[in-house]
Structure 1
Amino acid sequence: MTVLVIAEHDNASIKGATLNTVTAAAACASGDVHVLVAGHNAAEAAKAAAHIAGVAKVLHAEGEQFAHGLAENVAAQVLAIAGDYSHILFPATAGGKNVAPRVAAKLDVAQISDITKVDAADTFERPIYAGNAIAIVQSADKVKVLTVRTTAFDPAATSGGSAAVETANAVAANAKSRFVGQEIAQNDRPELTAAKIIVSGGRALGSSEKFQEVMTPLADKLGAAIGASRAAVDAGYAPNDLQVGQTGKIVAPQLYIAAGISGAIQHLAGMKDSKVIVAINKDPEAPIFSVADYGLEADLFQAVPELVKAL
């Protein structure tokens, strides 16, 4: 059985989520793992994919229609080669979740979302009920379309592979959609889902000004990414791309510091796999303490600045 991974990239390099997905693909495969790089001027990304350990072949589809990763165009490219594969895997990122359902629908198969473990080639585990239960899903579909919760799999090595790069015939652009523009926030901090240290603030911070005043110095000291609870985002204290949780980003850093976050189930689902969790909250009954490795019952407006000074 040959398995296909749909690479996430910026046309110059491969994004980290692809590496975790390759590891999941290797667990599915009794045969080879292939990687599709669909992009514009993406030869360097294809070359980087060829160096990933465990990858046997890279398919490079080149075309201006792939420049911005429009889901309609990428899905069409995947469908053009889908018949050669038993499994098609996407990272469970915004991009992967945008393309995978289109592919599954066109193939008339069930998508299996957010897998965290491969038990067998046809059997997978995935969290349900905000991670409070694990469902074991067995699929009889000829082609398995999967999205991979990347925090559940170790990344494949970025070197050691020597895959061949083959050119795939690029599909024509979809006339029903076109790229208009994008506004990208510039951020010098680590990307949230790839950060080794994350400091997150909750609604208890009270305002966007206080959020920045309290959380930014701590993040600067630790070289950390900044996250936020859904409550903080909904209140306008932080932008929604910082949201950690079931409806935000799923993270599993080496260190996660939660300040003023009560620990609603939605938030816990997005960060409870972190290696070390530190909770700072003045409410001793806050649910966040149930998953914390270290808990500090204190006023965050006093505790966090003191922690910054101590660092």
Structure 2
Amino acid sequence: MNKTSLICGSIAFDKIMQYHGRFGDILLADQLHRVNVSFLVPTLRTEYGGCAVNIAYNLSMLGGDPLIMGTLGQDGAAYLDRMWLQGLATKAIRTIDDAYTAQCFVTADQDNNQINAFHPGAMQFSHENNLADHLPLRVAIISPDGRDGMLKHARDCVANKVPFMFDPGQQLPMFNGEELIQFIDQATYLACNDYEFEMVMDRTGLSLHDIAARLDALIVTRGEEGSDIYAGGEHYKIPVVAAEKVVDPTGCGDAYRAGLLFGIANDLDWPTSGRLASLLGSIKIAHQGAQNHSFTAQQIADRFEAAFGYRF
């Protein structure tokens, strides 16, 4: 049985800078209309990120079969090499020679407030990729990416009868209510955090019941409160798995989605898929960056049994 999961989404560099003071001590509330400030950032690090690679990284360690479909820029050779060394399939990644790889520039202060700037770069050309070039597929996920690419990949999934999970994430504000309804009607699954889902309901005018009825499964994550999966007329409450320590939430949602995709590709039931997803999120949060944790499929199976009392 084909178990390939197509992971459509962003491929990005995250530039993380730390300001040792407080933004509030520098930014004057009555002068925000003419801001001209500079922050000394003694520490700077580059993290490999992007939703597509984050998801694929976790799914591969589970023993899944992810295929990343996204776009890199002229500066992406080192990232491609890294993916290759990790055993990730890169044949569906397109390099855009006259653009830079998408990059997020994050400046955080000592209270963990953040000022971010995002350059989409090559991500804006994601619509040049074609899902039909990579059939057959068991499942796909359309995670945050270029707007045109997300719309095209959804149409392509429908045209090629590939079930897909819609994961709008931080790109959700780009779509109006009509477009979101179209995504929901095309998708097999919808995954959002609780804030994003409130926005989906507000923009579409649809209730939770209305949305769940249009999908095979609706997944809503709620941070420390766990997550909810609505599928087949049932509501499954998924508990949080206690993390060894809380270091960095970046990429936790992507790790969670990898667990869901593994469950779908291997025909696991929804409570098991959700618990596996929850476990992956708890492992990720204990590490800095989205792709610096590691585990084996055997370790995950053992940790799952320790947490839930059975093996998947």
RCO (CA 8 Å, sep 6+): is it higher in 1 or 2? 2
Band the TM-score falls in, shorter-chain normalisation: 0.3 to 0.5
In our comparison, the structure showing a higher alpha carbon Rg is 1
**Please, what TM-score do these two structures have when normalized by structure 1?**
0.33
TM-score of the two chains, using structure 2 as the length reference: 0.33
